[in-house]
């Protein structure tokens, strides 16, 4: 088990206090701060959804109609235990000079970031990211449009962000999401089970579920890669599959590759035979007569819906 060590202290010792800790882990996982989150007592709850309406009819005088009723479906929504464990030998804790602040606090901050990254991956890929966690959006997509890629591709996901009936996080035990205070206790030597030592232990813990309340709450343009770019045409085809009643409060989630492909598709720089001195793989053209710029700006919307960039959506998806 990886724990903080004297080597960690040696690395931190005499570090420049003005500069502080330089963060080179640049994974952006905005899902937990973008999706709505609702506090829940306990670790599960029940929902009821209407799946069909009664049949409305006109009738003639002295003629009857057939009685009908709505149909309903009950579902159980679960939350799953997230556990990011921290352990620090008391010898390390007491030798910490706190040049960059308490080492325990640095590790606690790291635990928060690591948990956000895992939640981002779990949001899209579910049990493929962590088999003990919740089901991801990719397994619950209401409809898709295929760009054409099969392997080593990505997707642009369009999500209904409504907190009551769309996609949201549920945080159990009344919204508990916190790191416990460090507790001094005896722990086993990982290299010799017959020995033990005292250490400070704690963890970040929470009960979290990502729940798609309605069956019509997420869609995707799948199979996007360099040969099968994300385009406004594909986005339009996807939106055509979305009921009008679901076209408010939608948001795109895509990674940097899909963003780049969408930008390229909006530009008049097109792939072609490379002229002498030209950039590899591109044929340079003037701005189009339709008003498109020679190279479009970075997209922040697509078909009128905002784009959120995330590193949680991979470039290694496989589509049949």
pLDDT of residue 273: 43
Predicted confidence at residue 133, as pLDDT, reads 95
Here the tokens at position 177 are 């999401």
Strand partners of residue 314: none
Percentage of residues in the chain with pLDDT exceeding 70? Answer: 82
CB atoms within 10 A of CB 120: 24
Taking alpha carbons only, the member of 54, 216, 234 closest to residue 140 is: 216
CA distance 267 to 287: 8
Angle in degrees, CA 43, 217, 205, rounded to 5: 25
Mean pLDDT rounded to a whole number for the chain: 86
Chain Cα centroid distance, residue 189: 37
Output the six-digit token pair for 294.
């020679």
Lowest mean pLDDT among 113-122, 151-160, 177-186, 227-236: 177-186
What confidence tens digit (pLDDT) does each residue in 108-158 have?
888 888 999 999 999 999 999 999 999 999 999 999 999 999 999 999 999
In this prediction, residue 180 has a pLDDT band, given cuts at 50, 70 and 90, of: confident
CA–CA distance, 211 with 130 (Å, rounded to integer): 16
Cα–Cα distance for residue pair 176/178, rounded to 1 Å = 6
pLDDT grade for 21, boundaries at 50, 70 and 90:
low
User: Environment class of residue 251 by beta-carbon count within 10 Å: exposed (0-12), middle (13-18) or buried (19+)?
Assistant: middle
Taking CA atoms, 136 is separated from 30, 47, 177, 210, in Å, by 15, 18, 20, 7
Alpha carbon 174 to its chain centroid, in Å, reads 22
Tens digit of each residue's pLDDT (9 = 90 or more) over 263-314: 999 887 555 544 444 455 555 455 555 555 567 889 999 999 999 999 999 9
Distance CA 299, CA 137 (A): 23
Q: Is the pLDDT of residue 179 over 90?
A: no
Averaged pLDDT, 160-180:
91
- Rounded to whole angstroms, the Cα distance separating 49 from 213 reads 8
To which residue do tokens 């945080």 refer?
171
Q: Is 200 in contact with 182 (CB distance < 8 Å)?
A: yes
Confidence of residue 18 (pLDDT cuts 50, 70, 90): very low
Lookup: tokens for 241: 């599959």
Residue with tokens 């813990």: 205
- Taking only the tens place, the pLDDT of each residue in 68-105 is 999 999 999 999 999 999 998 888 888 877 666 678 88
| Unique residue bearing structure tokens 């005499």 | 14
268 close to 287: Cβ distance less than 8 angstroms: yes
What is the maximal distance between C-alpha atoms in the chain? 94
Q: What is the 3-state secondary structure (H, E, C) of 202-216?
A: EEEEEEEEEEECCCC
Q: Give CA–CA dist 49/16, Å, rounded.
A: 57
Q: DSSP string covering 63-78, please?
A: --------EEEEEEEE
- The pTM score is 0.82
> Which residue matches tokens 């009643």?
245
């Amino acid at each position: 088990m990886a724990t903080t060590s004297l080597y960690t202290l040696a690395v931190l010792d005499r570090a420049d206090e003005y500069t502080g800790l330089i963060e080179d882990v640049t994974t952006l996982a905005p899902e937990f701060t973008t999706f709505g989150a609702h506090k829940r007592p306990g670790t599960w709850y029940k929902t009821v959804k209407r799946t069909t309406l009664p049949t409305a009819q006109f009738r003639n005088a002295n003629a009857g109609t057939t009685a009908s009723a709505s149909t309903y479906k009950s579902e159980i929504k679960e939350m799953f235990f997230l556990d990011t464990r921290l352990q620090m030998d008391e010898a390390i804790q007491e030798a910490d000079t706190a040049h960059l602040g308490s080492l325990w606090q640095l590790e606690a901050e790291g635990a928060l970031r690591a948990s956000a990254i895992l939640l981002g991956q779990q949001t899209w890929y579910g049990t493929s990211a962590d088999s003990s966690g919740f089901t991801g959006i990719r397994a619950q997509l209401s409809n898709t449009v295929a760009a054409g890629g099969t392997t080593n591709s990505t997707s642009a996901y369009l999500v209904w962000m409504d907190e009551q009936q769309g996609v949201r996080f549920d945080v159990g035990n009344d919204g508990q999401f916190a790191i416990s205070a460090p507790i001094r206790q005896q722990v086993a030597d990982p290299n010799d089970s017959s020995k033990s030592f005292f250490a400070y232990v704690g963890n970040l813990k929470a009960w979290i579920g990502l729940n798609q309340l309605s069956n019509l709450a997420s869609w995707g343009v799948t199979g996007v890669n360099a040969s099968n770019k994300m385009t406004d045409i594909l986005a339009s085809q996807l939106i055509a599959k979305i009921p009008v009643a679901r076209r408010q409060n939608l948001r795109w989630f895509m990674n940097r590759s899909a963003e780049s492909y969408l930008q390229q598709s909006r530009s008049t720089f097109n792939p072609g035979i490379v002229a002498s001195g030209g950039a590899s793989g591109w044929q340079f053209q003037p701005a189009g007569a339709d008003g498109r710029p020679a190279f479009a700006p970075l997209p922040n919307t697509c078909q009128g819906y905002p784009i959120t960039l995330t590193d949680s959506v991979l470039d290694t998806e496989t589509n049949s």
